[in-house]
């Protein structure tokens, strides 16, 4: 996963590069950017929180607002979101998806029984709280952000691609 760094944040770029992360300049990174660190906040981002999930689907990314975070906090969030745990929550009754994830080495728990922190949750829309949902959505805040994937709108291959994107084996 690439980490885009806005100009003027060379200290963050150096810190992340020294820790082994792949950094690129904000605006020059191309595809595969999962985290963007910004400081000069313009109208597009003027009221963002220190940590914000931005976009959907292929264009989804995590924005870290360096003007509201210390270097240590930025490093902590980069580590958290680029080295995700291998735990995925799956809605009950999705045994085929659960079996495929387990075969790929993921620890699978049910959404209802998810007592540990999970990074990705797979559900079927039209069931209670998820009546109308995008194929890929972000929910929660702080330490409880979760990527929710709708199995009714994504193929098994797409589900696996997104699971891989938002978790790291």
Could you tell me how far CA 34 lies from the centroid of its own chain?
Answer: 7
Distance CA(10)–CA(7), nearest Å, equals 7
Q: Domain spans of the chain? A: 2-82, 87-166
Q: How many residues does the chain have?
A: 169
Question: Distance between the two ends of the chain, CA-based, in angstroms?
Answer: 13
Question: Model-level pTM?
Answer: 0.53
Confidence band for 95, pLDDT divided at 50, 70 and 90: confident
Q: For 23-41, how does the pLDDT look when each residue is reduced to its tens digit (9 = 90+)?
A: 888 887 677 788 889 886 6
What pLDDT does residue 154 have? 87
Max avg pLDDT among 24-28, 102-106, 121-125: 24-28
Q: Taking Cα atoms as reference points, which of 11, 7, 27 lies closest to residue 19?
A: 11
């Amino acid at each position: 996963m690439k980490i885009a760094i806005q100009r003027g944040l060379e200290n963050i770029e150096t810190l992340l590069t020294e820790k082994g992360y792949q950094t690129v300049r904000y605006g020059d990174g191309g595809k595969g950017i999962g985290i963007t660190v910004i400081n000069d906040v313009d109208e597009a981002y003027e009221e963002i929180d220190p940590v914000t999930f931005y976009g959907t689907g292929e264009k989804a990314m995590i924005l870290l607002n360096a003007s509201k975070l210390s270097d240590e906090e930025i490093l902590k969030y980069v580590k958290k979101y680029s080295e995700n745990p291998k735990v995925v929550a799956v809605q009950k009754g999705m045994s085929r998806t659960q079996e495929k994830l387990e075969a790929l080495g993921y620890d699978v728990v049910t959404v209802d029984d998810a007592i540990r922190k999970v990074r990705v949750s797979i559900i079927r829309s039209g069931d209670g709280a998820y009546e109308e949902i995008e194929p890929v959505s972000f929910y929660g805040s702080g330490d409880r952000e979760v990527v929710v994937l709708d199995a009714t709108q994504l193929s098994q291959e797409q589900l696996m691609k997104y699971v891989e994107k938002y978790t790291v084996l």
